[in-house]
Amino acid sequence: MQSQQKHVAMVLAQNFEDVEATDPKEYLERQGAKVTVIGIERGEIQGKKGATLTADATFEDVSPDDFDMLVIPGGGAPENLRIHDPAVEFTRQFVSSGRPVAAICHGPQLLISAKVLDGRRLTAVNKIRDDIVNAGGNYVDEPLVEDGNLITSRVPADLPVFDEALGRALGAVAV
């Protein structure tokens, strides 16, 4: 029996919080997953602290159905993605699909703009907690929150439990 490789979409834009992208990416790749970075345009994307990742696809190139999980790192990337309509629509459809969607730090800003937080329980960096509440979300201050297909964490220090939750969720996805 041939094992099927899981495929993860990581959405990124300029000024991402370096380790919130590189750490989950490396973790998932060590688990055998393929991680595709999706950007507003193809090519190099700079992190806040000097990391570089390459967008291999744009939102026009892909469909949510191509992936088993969506990961939304934080920093300044989510506020750049949330004003790019194809990124917002991709995110909205992914959450609706029921497959796992993971966001850390400022990542839920993209979920706010996708209008998918009403009645959902989640965490994020506390600097955007009021925006989450105004979007109808139930904000809690915990290292890891799982509510249905939403997986959220607050800050880089939460990455160990965040990564583990991504691994569990990906293992649970039927392919």
Cβ distance to its own copies smaller for residue 14 or 36? 14
Q: Tokens at residue 33, please?
A: 């997953």
Given the residues 99, 106, 120, 154, the one annotated as active site: 106
Q: Which listed residue (23, 56, 131, 146) binds its own copies by CB under 8 A?
A: 131
- Which of helix, strand or coil describes residue 164? helix
For the CB of residue 47, give the shortest distance to its own copies in the complex, in Å. 15
126 is a contact residue toward its own copies (CB under 8 A):
yes
- Among the candidate windows 65-73, 79-87, 140-148, 152-160, which touches its own copies by CB under 8 A? 79-87
Instruction: Classify burial at 73, counting beta carbons within 10 Å of its beta carbon; exposed 0-12, middle 13-18, buried 19 or more.
Output: buried
Contacting residue, 69, 102, 113, 162, with its own copies by CB under 8 A: 113
Q: Count CB-CB contacts under 10 A for residue 77.
A: 30
Distance CA 83, CA 171 (A): 32
- The stretch near its own copies (CB under 8 A) out of 22-30, 35-43, 107-115, 148-156 is 107-115
Closest contact distance (angstroms) between CB of 82 and its own copies is: 7
User: Please, are residues 59 and 87 in contact by the beta-carbon 8 Å criterion?
Assistant: yes
82 binds its own copies (CB under 8 A): yes
CB of 125 to its own copies, least distance (A): 8
Structure tokens, 145:
């929150």
Closest by CA to 124, choosing from 158, 153, 166, is 153
Asked if residue 134 binds its own copies (CB under 8 A), the reply is yes
Does the annotation mark 106 as catalytic?
A: yes
> How far is Cα 144 from Cα 76, in angstroms, rounded to an integer?
21
Amino acid type, 42: R
Residue ranges binding its own copies (CB under 8 A) = 79-80, 82-83, 109, 112-113, 126-131, 134-135
- Catalytic center residues: 106
